[in-house]
Amino acid sequence: MSEPVTFDIEAVDWSKQDGLVPAVVQDARTLRVLMVGWMDRDALAHTLATRQATFFSRTRGRRWTKGETSGHVLDVVDIRLDCDADTLLVLAHPHGPTCHLERTSCFPDAPGDFLAQLDALIEQREAQRPEGSYTTKLFDAGVRRIAQKVGEEGVETALAGVVQDDEALLGESADLLYHLTVLLRARGLSLADAVDVLRARHAPAA
């Protein structure tokens, strides 16, 4: 079993809504809001211990774990408490659709980080290697070929920036971002790792 999530249950103000607090679940990778549920002390303790998002059903009057019947569990990576100590933000990795309507999110139009979604899709392509996929072809060709494509796309992007219109520049930029994401994955890295480097560089000085 994975290590439990570290969180202070006693920091939550359980007095405001008869021992219940709303829990907003967010995809830890794309930051898309997936669902909202309710937790009592027992559901939160179970979530922390198992790392599987668990809630309290007000209609059924019992604890339930997301995915206990569908298998579409939410693997919790972190939990944050709001400024009033009466609402939880649950960061999780979803396994399958979160919504009972087989949608990714219970909020169909909830915004998210598309580059993170693309990175996740490329990671899936690397693992599954579906036939006919251009991404599969790149991975099969190896790191050197992928790196060559990044170089080609970089040159084409630079040239578009100098001698072509905005549409061409945006198209070449999109190609560059895609191939760079594939290259990072081929090296066991992700776009998030590169963003972490940027974040560290721009962190305010102590």
Q: What's the pTM?
A: 0.78
Cα angle 134, 197, 25 (rounded to 5 degrees) comes to: 75
Name residues whose C-beta falls within 8 Å of residue 162's C-beta, 6 or more positions apart in sequence. Answer: none
What CATH architecture applies to the domain 114-201? Orthogonal Bundle (1.10)
Just give the CATH number of 9-94: 3.10.20.810
Q: What is the pLDDT of residue 130?
A: 96
> Cβ distance 13 to 85 under 8 Å?
yes
- Side-chain-facing half-sphere of 66: CA atoms under 13 Å: 31
Domain ranges within the chain, ordered by starting residue: 9-94, 114-201
Q: pLDDT per position in the chain (206 positions), as tens?
A: 467 789 999 999 999 988 999 999 999 999 999 999 999 999 999 999 999 999 999 999 999 999 999 999 999 999 999 999 999 999 999 999 999 999 999 999 999 999 999 999 999 999 999 999 999 999 999 999 999 999 999 999 999 999 999 999 999 999 999 999 999 999 999 999 999 999 999 877 64
Note whether 20 and 37 are within 8 A (CB): no
